[in-house]
Amino acid sequence: DVLMTQSPLSLPVTLGQPASISCRSSQSLVHSDGNTYLHWFRQRPGQSPRRLIYKVSNRDSGVPDRFSGSGSGTDFTLKISRVEAEDVGIYYCMQSTHWPFTFGGGTKVEIK
């Protein structure tokens, strides 16, 4: 199975400041069709996960443009340009290139 490793585990951030989460996969996430199926999710307490970014850098519908994704191959990054209070939660990277799909262990974003 593809192992997804996120860092940091915990990310205290000041409101209005940027935040960055790293995700590394144990093997390339480039599919035979040429696409890279790396996605980012956020889960707020008591809620189901919600996808924010799909295929590395595409924002899902309704996701603010302060969220951006980048990367290639095995190394990926999620950035929040200016953290707002509603951004708290656990962020997960996830790959759907190889079955079984796999999630990272999560990064907890909290306000300082």
Question: Which residues contact another protein (rule: CB under 8 A)?
Answer: 35, 37, 39, 48-51, 54-55, 58, 60-61, 92, 94, 96, 99-103, 105-106
Cβ proximity to another protein, 74 vs 97, nearer residue: 97
Cβ count within 10 A of residue 33: 8
Q: Which residue has the tokens 């990064």?
A: 107
Cβ proximity to another protein, 20 vs 103, nearer residue: 103
Min CB(112)–another protein separation in Å: 25
14 exposed, middle or buried (CB, 10 Å; 0-12, 13-18, 19+)? exposed
Cβ proximity to another protein, 14 vs 28, nearer residue: 28
Task: List the structure tokens of 43.
Answer: 């889960």
Min CB(5)–another protein separation in Å: 12
Cβ proximity to another protein, 88 vs 103, nearer residue: 103
Reported residue count of the chain is: 112
Min CB(14)–another protein separation in Å: 28
Query: Pairing relation of β-strands 107-111 and 10-13?
Result: parallel
Positive or negative CA dihedral for 82, 85, 86, 89?
Answer: positive
